[in-house]
Amino acid sequence: MPELPEAETIARDLDGALHGAVVRSVRVDRADVLRGTTARALGTRLRGATIGGVSRRAKSVVFTFTGGDRIVVTPRFTGALLLDGAPDDAYTCLRITLADDRLLRYHDVRRLGTVTLLAHAAFDAWSGALGPEPLDPTLTAERFSGILRGSRRAVKSILMDQRRLAGVGNIYANEACWLAGIRPARRGSSLRLAECLALLLHLRAVLSASIAARGTTFRDFRDAYGARGAFATQLQAYGRGGEACRRCGATLRTTHALAGRQTVWCPDRECQR
């Protein structure tokens, strides 16, 4: 599932390529991915509109059009926004043809992702319900500490709660906890201020490193041009259960007890406590 680095990679690709582009036509092949609109209404609203920019919020890619409309694309497990390339009729859900003949497709094998049309006020309400962005410099260590220490839930669960912190999913929550030496199952309320600061610094570092590597691809994630992300080779914990910890040598353990998602940690209390 694309998380912050993958969505950021797509948004940067498309912002550079599509800023100022004009929509000529919209074709919806799989209307079940649409939210807040119908296929006909979406085509009417977007036809002739200019793309003012493409950005990211949490795990979603946001298209801003002149006039205030926004399209929020949340790819989830198998969704991809692809610019040009050969059309894939089997899994293409939405096609936006631009005035210069380029084609932007939303491709989704399992069709669990969504494409949502939001007017200005509705977008503000959607964004306002999300937590702060971890890479936002206005997110201070004190505020981050309050998010964690104000809850008795597992640290990893808090990091993944989009209402508390936007954009972090399973991969990077695992990585940040391992890098900071904090067990994912520890209660947030048990953390010391210094541990919260370390976790924030490591979370920002791993997210930034993944963005630089254009995200993590195990199977489905592709950037806007169909290329794979390269960060999987740098993962220290996620996906490495049963292998040696690269910090202490102990065998990393795996559980699905936290929200049914894969959690990997080092059992050595001196390594990850």
Put the strands of the sheet holding 51-57 in their side by side order. Answer: 34-35, 114-118, 70-74, 60-65, 51-57
Residues 6+ apart with CB under 8 A from 103: 83, 84, 87, 95, 96, 97
Whether 154 and 257 map to the same domain: the answer is yes
Spatial distance between the Cα atoms of 219 and 1, rounded to a whole number of angstroms: 10
CATH code where residue 93 lies: 3.20.190.10
Whether 10 and 88 map to the same domain: the answer is yes
Q: Is 271 within a domain? A: no
Whether 18 and 119 map to the same domain: the answer is yes
Spatial distance between the Cα atoms of 273 and 247, rounded to a whole number of angstroms: 13
CA distances from 5 to 26, 155, 172, 225, 229 (A): 28, 20, 9, 16, 10
pLDDT at 203: 98
Tell me the two tokens of residue 94.
């939405």
pLDDT tens, the chain, 273 aa long: 799 999 999 999 999 999 999 999 999 999 999 999 999 999 999 999 999 999 999 999 999 999 899 999 999 999 999 998 776 778 999 999 999 999 999 999 999 999 999 999 999 999 999 999 999 999 999 999 999 999 999 999 999 999 999 999 999 999 999 999 999 999 999 999 999 999 999 999 999 999 999 999 999 999 999 999 999 999 999 999 999 999 999 999 999 999 889 999 999 999 999
| Neighbour-count burial for 77-111, b at 16+ CB within 10 Å, e otherwise | ebbbbbbeeeeeeebbbbbbebeeeebbbbbbeee
Residues labelled catalytic: 2-3, 59, 261
Q: Is 189 within a domain? A: yes
**Domain end position, chosen among 128, 153, 181:** 128
Whether 27 and 72 map to the same domain: the answer is yes
Spatial distance between the Cα atoms of 261 and 171, rounded to a whole number of angstroms: 10
**Domain end position, chosen among 107, 128, 149:** 128
Spatial distance between the Cα atoms of 114 and 111, rounded to a whole number of angstroms: 8
Whether 111 and 146 map to the same domain: the answer is no
pLDDT at 135: 98
Whether 207 and 247 map to the same domain: the answer is yes
Whether 153 and 41 map to the same domain: the answer is no
pLDDT at 192: 97
Domain count, the chain: 2
Q: Is 258 within a domain? A: yes
CATH code where residue 175 lies: 1.10.8.50
131 and 165 Cβ atoms separated by less than 8 Å? yes
Q: Is 121 within a domain? A: yes
Q: Torsion over CA of 125, 130, 135 and 136, rounded to 10 degrees?
A: 40
Phi, psi of 27 (to 5 degrees): -125, 125
Q: Is 135 within a domain? A: no
pTM of the model: 0.96
Domain hosting residue 21, numbered range: 4-128
